[in-house]
Amino acid sequence: MPNEIEERIQAALDAAFGEKIEQARHELTAELQSATAQLKSECAAELEAAVAQAKEQGALAKGEAVRTTARQLAETLAESGRRIRTKETVTDIAIELVETAKQFCGRCALFIQKGNGILGFRAQGFTDPQIVRTIQQLEIPLGKGSALSQAVATKERVEVGGGDNEVSPEIAALFGLNGDRRVVLIPVILRDRVLALLYADGGEQQVEVQTAALEVLTTITEAWLEAVGTRKKQPEVVHAR
């Protein structure tokens, strides 16, 4: 008998509350789905805003980095020019040109133009001291390298790969060039005559050759050579007492 009463009570409860429980379950499920969708939408919006902000900050940081690099380059170039202008002889000016040019490339060398050839003068950035000594003993006809003769004839910067027929077999062999490296030749000119050729490449680490900076440096050198030469030719002025 008690079991029968329990069954009737359970049946009455099921009849009274079953429908409401099911309805509440459906409503709760719908609310959860709606809340989940809204949360996803809000998260997506926040994520999109965060990405946009990161991109903006990245662009600002990149722009600031570029400005900093440009400022440092300008300061280095200005200091190099000041160092060159402290020299009073052609030899010292030429030495300073090579030493300051090293800051804008991996390796550099200066060749003096003489007649129909060039003579090795000074080099920087070469790890083997024997190469530096050998450079100072080089004497190469311009006809042995098309880039050499072109730079002297046109008085313009020349950029080549550094093959035997471009920079001469002697320079290519000594510098370890095989035609696949960016090589820059910049003439140093005084009174419409090529005095020397400044050679530059990326060196063993293949750093960037900052051609524009090197051209500015040679221009400063040319101007100072002219100033020093003119000053030495001027007669000494005797002031009357």
* pTM (global) more than 0.85: no
Distance of alpha carbon 139 from alpha carbon 136, whole angstroms: 9
Q: What is the CATH number of the domain that holds 131?
A: 3.30.450.40
- Distance, in Å, from the CA atom of 145 to the CA atom of 118, rounded to the nearest integer, reads 11
Same-domain status, 45 and 119: no
pLDDT tens-digit series, residues 6-61: 555 555 545 555 555 566 556 656 665 665 666 556 656 665 776 667 666 655 55
Claim to verify: residue 152 and residue 219 sit in the same structural domain: yes
Total domains in the fold of the chain: 2
206 located within any domain: yes
Give the separation between CA 89 and CA 94, rounded to whole angstroms.
Answer: 9
Whether residue 186 contacts residue 214, with contact meaning beta carbons closer than 8 Å, is answered with yes
Task: Indicate whether 239 belongs to any domain.
Answer: no
* Structural domain harbouring 199: 90-231
Helix (H) or strand (E) holding 72: helix 2-84
Residue positions counted in the chain: 241
The verdict on 6 and 110 lying in the same domain is no
Whether residue 218 sits in one domain with residue 177: yes
Residue 133 lies in a domain: yes
Q: Look at residue 237 and tell me if it is in a domain.
A: no
* Sheet containing 107-114: order of strands: 139-141, 117-124, 107-114, 193-201, 183-190, 158-160
- Contact between residue 198 and residue 110 where contact means Cβ atoms under 8 Å apart: yes
pLDDT-derived band of residue 177, with 50, 70 and 90 as boundaries? very high
In this structure, the answer to whether residues 106 and 137 fall within a common structural domain is yes
What is the reported pLDDT for 238?
A: 40
- pLDDT tens, residue by residue, 78-128: 999 999 999 999 999 999 999 999 999 999 999 999 999 999 999 999 999
Residue 74's pLDDT band (cuts 50, 70, 90): confident
